[in-house]
Amino acid sequence: MKVLLINEGSLSDFEVLSLMQERKEQRLHKSAMVAYAERNWMDHKVLKFLTQSHSHCSTLSSSSIQDFLKELEQADLPALTSAEKLQFINHLPTELVDIHLIIEDCAGRFSETQVDELIRIVERTLAAELLERRNADAQAKDTAEAEAEE
């Protein structure tokens, strides 16, 4: 095996999840080979991490990522680096502190209103489904607590 391109680019968690799910689908159509048992185990662990952990990439879609990138370009904001955009896609920051952790020299590059605009862009595009899930979970919890009190 020959390496053609070294470090061609970085992948988001969403892209890794998509690739791993494709590999899993391909394996289902082929007989499971013992020679690849270790790789299959690693694939399973990566899929489990990306779908069941703190990673919210399972709530994303390629259209939501495209919408996010398009809105960033159209917004009157200082440019983000490609690494910062990748971190936005992977972490879905919806709080001020998250933004400051992702953007290098955030206070020097962005005003408060610009950071608020970044948060609104993330909430409208990347985190829309995640926020809907959180609201539904909170309502279900409130309903359960109200029923328990009665």
What is the pLDDT, as a whole number, of residue 84? Answer: 94
Q: What are the structural domains, with CATH classification, of the chain?
A: 13-55 (no CATH), 59-130 (1.20.1250.40)
The model's pLDDT over 53-106, given as tens digits with 9 standing for 90+, comes to: 677 777 788 899 999 999 999 999 999 999 999 999 998 898 999 999 999 999
List all residues 6 or more positions away from 81 whose beta carbon is below 8 Å from its beta carbon. Answer: 104
The model's pLDDT over 109-149, given as tens digits with 9 standing for 90+, comes to: 999 999 999 999 999 998 877 777 767 767 777 777 777 77
List all residues 6 or more positions away from 87 whose beta carbon is below 8 Å from its beta carbon. Answer: 102
Q: What is the pTM of this model?
A: 0.75
